Amino acid sequence: MNESVEIRKKLLAMQAELQQRLQQTQSEERHEVEEGDDTTAQLWQVSEVRDGLNDEAIAELRDIGRALERLDSGDYGICTRCGETINPARLEALPHAEFCIACAE
């Protein structure tokens, strides 16, 4: 019980941080567009890198959301692929891990 409260706290903190990071990059982008800089090619490159980072953050947010759902349903810490218990050390390092080490590889 206490343990799941801790995990939830950790997941929610990660979620908040990612959301903040996404909001930040989005407002930075708006700023750049407003300035109307004509170094379009350069901007294009920058925003492509950002899109990559955003995709990563969005995927992580999705995983965190799913981990929170599993925490609610009592399936947390169980590999969604093979149904084995996920190693606690792995969950410690990656609280939103969906697969056990064997399945992740």
Q: Binding residues for Zn ion, per CB under 5 A?
A: 79, 81-82, 84, 100, 103
Closest to Zn ion by CB, 33 vs 82, is 82
Q: Shortest gap between Cβ of 94 and Zn ion (angstroms)?
A: 14
Closest to Zn ion by CB, 59 vs 102, is 102
Q: Shortest gap between Cβ of 34 and Zn ion (angstroms)?
A: 48
Q: Shortest gap between Cβ of 48 and Zn ion (angstroms)?
A: 34
Contacting residues for 10 by C-beta, under 8 A, at least 6 apart: 95
Closest to Zn ion by CB, 68 vs 100, is 100
Q: Shortest gap between Cβ of 81 and Zn ion (angstroms)?
A: 5
* C-alpha distances in Å from residue 51, one per residue of 33, 55, 105: 15, 6, 26
85 Ramachandran zone, left/alpha/beta (phi>0; psi -120 to 50): beta
Check residue 81 and report its DSSP letter. Answer: T
CA 97/CA 78 separation, integer angstroms:
9
Closest to Zn ion by CB, 35 vs 105, is 105
